[in-house]
Each structure stands twice: as structure tokens, then as C-alpha cells.
Amino acid sequence: YVYSRPPPWSDTLPTIYVITPTYTRPVQKAELTRLANTFLHVQNLHWVVVEDSPRRTNLVSNLLEKAGLNFTHLNVETPKSLKLGLSWIPSHTPRGTLQRNLGLHWLRDSFSNAVPPEGVVYFADDDNTYSLELFEEMRYTRRVSVWPVAFVGGLRYESPKVSPAGKVVGWKTVFDPNRPFAIDMAGFAINIKLILEKPQASFKLEGVKGGYQETSLLKDLVTMDGLEPKAANCTKVLVWHTRTERPTLVNEGKRGFTDPRVEV
Amino acid sequence: SRPAAGRLPPERRGAEAALPTIYAITPTYSRPVQKAELTRLANTFRQVAQLHWILVEDAAARSDLVSRFVAAAGLPCTHLHVPTPRRYKRPGLPRATEQRNAGLAWLRQRHQHLPPPQPGVLFFADDDNTYSLELFQEMRTTRKVSVWPVGLVGGRRYERPVVENGKVVGWYTGWRADRPFAIDMAGFAVSLQVILSHPKAVFKRRGSQPGMQESDFLKQITTVEELEPKANNCTKVLVWHTRTEKVNLANEPKYHLDTVNIEV
């Protein structure tokens, strides 16, 4: 029998809405598989998978159907001009932006601000690594919670700076620590009420300097002193910004060697 | 103890205990992403009933990191260690030989006085690969040696055994298809009884050529004729040879800047 199922849904536990942008490439199915294997442990998790594609692909549809998780499957294609950074403003649109915004849009469409659900929103890229402990840390976020992230900014980890009183007072980063929110996408979660209360808050598409994408959203939701430090006052690493090597497919040749009907 | 088991009704728990144990032998070594890799691997393995993890460090002594990790891992785990001799640590030489052999030795020692046939299956699970849950269902019924495709290896989308009439007749591989067993470490499982019946079968150092480890090992314990094809006659990819990028730690200070010592 298939052993794995998520834990039974609870009526009292806040739901964790995980928004994952994803795109087609050889390691995609592997990444989503090991992500699903992690999420299957987490109670009341709703996975919002947003493909960067003109249509929802069979690969992702089938994976989500079989995984056994609660999910929503969306798609929006990043226009080529944005992908290549050809917008008239000389900066790039970071990847995943349109997809994350669509996830936020879906939440706002699905839930009313008048009767908001109990829940928290988290942006989980498909190549990062997440401990199970992280989800329990974020579950009871009142407004916006934060924690350290490994392997970002050229460091073993970046972390919010937490005062003895338990308030975030700055950022322990080498790269531009004076950003309003010098934190990686994987380092914060937002109470869904806040998302619904502030429908204009989303990731800025253009004119975003490198490293400011997170700020472009968070500045409309919270101030630094409103942040809730998690992970033992930000002294534990519970999420790692891992990246997967691009596989060398040298033996596929120009026209492809392997049978394309065999899905990898 | 495994929290997952507590969710199962009593009749399922009994059925779970009757399954042949799957032994996963994982060599591991210290580097920045080690804890992340072990974490996401554990998240997968914890979804599999009756899986016993044999973790073998390439180290002269058990490390604190892995010891702490094992203590909290949430599944049955045996923590071994054996250092690779310096002379074998050259590029081009096979890796993890001593560690895999240590895993085999532990299994042999543990079962040597028990009467055959001993149920159980073992496979070699490198800590950066990605495993679908379906793979474990497939390998659990291994009678002697079973085989299946592996994604993203050999410079191809996948490699696989070629199967005709339920028997392996050749190898679909990007590299040296003339090997007796042209298969990746992630592409086979061996019944415990076969390992016990061939007490001298180990991964070799002397006289071994690079790239021949799997073949040299398998020819000590089986024949191509005997192999059991899994994954729908070797047409489905259920495991991927993913590799994780080396992390950029360019911004780590030469002298300790942080006031706390945080494990990543």
C-alpha cells in the first residue's frame, strides 16, 4: 500500500499556505517530489504551486494528484521581455515574481477579509530545503515572523538581529544590511489576515534592485519592530537555501537521445 | 520513535511491522550542505514503513552534527563511521567505498547467527539523490537483485536497463554500455539474504577501475539473467541523481563576527 498520507486535517490548527513558483527544467520533477515528501509530514498544509508556463503541465498536474497533499495548481507565464530583463528600467525582474503574486491573488480571491481563515502564508522555492520544525515555528505567526536562512548572501546563514527584549532591530548580513528587510524569501511568513487586509501589497515587478524583492512586499505589510522572531530568537537554522546543479545532458545530442515519453 | 506510526490504525500498524525491512546505506561527509541533505533525505525516509537507515560518516569519529541529527531523526537509524584513507581521496577514484562496505559489514554482523532466509532489502542511498516514495514499494519485493531506471545520470535524462519479456537484456546508458552491469549506484537493490549468502562481496579498491564500482560489486552476487526489473519493466523514473551546488561562502568573515555559534 501507499504508506504516506498527510496527517488528518484539523479544524483548530491554522493552515499553512505554501506558495511555490516552479518552472520546467530537467530537475523539476525531482525537486517537487522531495518537496512533497517533506510537506506530507505537515498538518494543515495547503500547497499553492504556480507554474511559470502558458498552460498547466501534465507533469505537475499528475505529481500533485498523486502526492496526496491539499493543493491548488495555478500557472502564469513570465513574458519573455521580463525574463530577459529587457524592461526599460535597467534592472531585472527576479524569478518567480509573477507566480508568487498570482498565489497571493488566489488567496485574496478565495478568502474574504470579512471572515478570514486562521492561517499563514509562506513562499517556498522548489529547490530549498525545509526542516519540519520550521512549519511549526511559523504556524502561529500573528503578523510577520522571521528567522535565519542558510546559504544566502555569501554566508553560512543570514539572520535578523534580535535585541535582548526579543525585538528585531537589524539584519546580520554582509550584503546590503541596510535594506529595510534584508531577508531572504525563505526567511519570513505572513499571517493571511494581513494579506487580505492589504490587497495592494504584492511583489514589485520592475525597478527592483537586487536583494530588494522581499522588501517590495514587506514594506506594505509591516515595520521592522512589528516582526516576530522565531527559531529561538533567530539562533537556529531551520531552512537552507540549497541550489541544485544543472545536470549535464551532453549525451542527449542535438535532437535528444532518450525517449521523450519517459518522464523524468 | 516515529510519529507517523501513531497515526495508523492498529491493523495497519501490524501490517506495517510484517513488511520486509528496507535498509538504506547512506555514506555521508562533512561539508556545508550536509545537514540540509540529511534533513530532506530523512523527510523522505520517514514516509516509508519499516525503513532502517544506516548512515556512515567518512570520518575518524562520529561528528557532533550527525550525532545530534541521528538522535532527532525520527526513524530507526544506525550511525557508523569509517575514514577514507588519504591515498584514495584523489579525483577520479571511486568514493564512499569504505563507507558502503561498513554498512554491509554491520548488516552481516547483525544477522550472521540468524537462520536463512532473512527478509529484508538493502540499497545504497547517496545523500544528495532524490527518491520518490513509489521507489520503496518497488524495491521491497526484491527476491535477489532488482533494477530500475535512474534519472539525470550518465549525461542523459535517464539511464535504464533494457527489458524484454520480463528479463534484462541490455543497458540503455550514456557511459560504457559494455560494462557487465552498466547501472548507477541508485539503480538497484539487493535482498539481505543475498548479501548474507555472499559474505565476501564488497566494493573493491584493489584492481578497481573508476566507474566500475557498481559492476564489480554486482558481478560478485548475481547475473544479468537473474535481475528483477522494477518500475514497470524499467520504463518509469522513480529516482534522480540530483547534485547540490557548492554554496557560496565568499562573505564569511575571516574572524568570528557573530556572537553565537550556530549550526547549519
Distance in Å from the first CA to the final CA of chain B: 24
The 10 Å CB-count burial string (b at 16+, else e) for B94-118 is bbbbbbbbbbbebbbeebeeeeeeb
A window 163-182, beta carbon within 8 A of B: 172, 174-175
Please give the Cα distance from A195 to A200 (Å, whole number): 9
CA distance A236 to chain B (A): 6
What backbone phi and psi angles, to 5 degrees, belong to A75?
Answer: -155, 145
pLDDT at B233 (0 to 100): 96
Least CA distance to A1: which residue of chain B?
A: B137
Amino acid (one-letter) located at B117? P
pLDDT at A3 (0 to 100): 47
> A41 vs B4: CB contact, 8 Å cut-off?
yes
Of the candidates A252, A246, A241, the residue with the CA atom closest to the CA atom of residue A30 = A246
| pLDDT at residue B252 greater than cutoff 90 | no
Q: Domain residue spans in chain B?
A: 21-240
Residues 6 or more apart whose CB falls under 8 angstroms from that of B201 comprise B104, B195, B217, B220, B221
CA distance B198 to chain A (A): 31
pLDDT at A84 (0 to 100): 56
Which residue matches cell numbers 514503513? B49
| pLDDT at residue B92 greater than cutoff 90 | no
Using a 10 angstrom Cβ sphere, with 0-12 exposed, 13-18 middle and 19 or more buried, the burial of residue A30 is: buried
pLDDT digits (tens, 9 = 90+) for B210-248: 789 999 999 999 999 999 999 999 999 999 999 998 888
Of the candidates A80, A69, A230, the residue with the CA atom closest to the CA atom of residue A143 = A230
Q: Domains in chain A, start-ordered, CATH in brackets?
A: 15-252 (3.90.550.10)
Of the candidates A119, A123, A142, the residue with the CA atom closest to the CA atom of residue A192 = A119
With a cut of 70, which residues of chain A have pLDDT below it?
1-4, 81-93, 257
Say what the ipTM of the complex is.
0.92
Residues in chain B closer than 8 A to A240 (CB atoms): 33, 35-36, 39, 264
DSSP letter (8 states) at residue A77:
P
| pLDDT at residue B251 greater than cutoff 60 | yes
Where is average pLDDT lowest: A20-29, A215-224, B2-11, B43-52?
A: B2-11
| pLDDT at residue B6 greater than cutoff 60 | no
> A156 vs B249: CB contact, 8 Å cut-off?
yes
pLDDT at B260 (0 to 100): 61
How long is chain A? 264
Please give the Cα distance from A263 to A144 (Å, whole number): 39
Option in B48, B149, B262 nearest A3 (CB): B48
pLDDT at B259 (0 to 100): 62
Please give the Cα distance from B182 to B95 (Å, whole number): 18
pLDDT digits (tens, 9 = 90+) for B160-183: 999 999 999 999 987 888 999 999
| pLDDT at residue B209 greater than cutoff 90 | no
In chain B, at which residue ranges do the beta strands (DSSP E only) sit?
22-28, 51-57, 77-81, 121-124, 130-131, 145-147, 150-153, 156-164, 167-172, 188-191, 228-229, 239-240
pLDDT at B8 (0 to 100): 58
> A34 vs B43: CB contact, 8 Å cut-off?
yes
What backbone phi and psi angles, to 5 degrees, belong to A251?
Answer: -85, 5
Residues in chain A closer than 8 A to B140 (CB atoms): none
Of the candidates A30, A237, A17, A28, the residue with the CA atom closest to the CA atom of residue A106 = A17
pLDDT at B9 (0 to 100): 61
Q: Which CATH architecture has domain B21-240?
A: Alpha-Beta Complex (3.90)
> A262 vs B237: CB contact, 8 Å cut-off?
yes
* Cell matching residue B261: 555559534
Of the candidates B36, B69, B65, the residue with the CA atom closest to the CA atom of residue B53 = B69
Element (H, E) at B10: helix B10-18
C-beta separation of A91 from A206 below 8 A: yes
pLDDT at B256 (0 to 100): 57
pLDDT digits (tens, 9 = 90+) for A56-97: 999 999 999 999 999 999 999 998 766 655 444 444 567 899
Tell me the percentage of chain B whose pLDDT exceeds 90.
75
Residues in chain A closer than 8 A to B149 (CB atoms): 262
Element (H, E) at B97: helix B97-111
Least CA distance to A258: which residue of chain B?
A: B157
DSSP letter (8 states) at residue B190:
E
Residues in chain B closer than 8 A to A250 (CB atoms): 155, 174
Of the candidates A195, A171, A193, A200, the residue with the CA atom closest to the CA atom of residue A184 = A171
Does the annotation mark B252 as catalytic? no
Tell me the percentage of chain B whose pLDDT exceeds 70.
92
What backbone phi and psi angles, to 5 degrees, belong to A232?
Answer: 55, 60
C-beta separation of A71 from A48 below 8 A: yes
C-beta separation of A45 from A18 below 8 A: yes
pLDDT digits (tens, 9 = 90+) for B179-196: 999 999 999 999 999 999
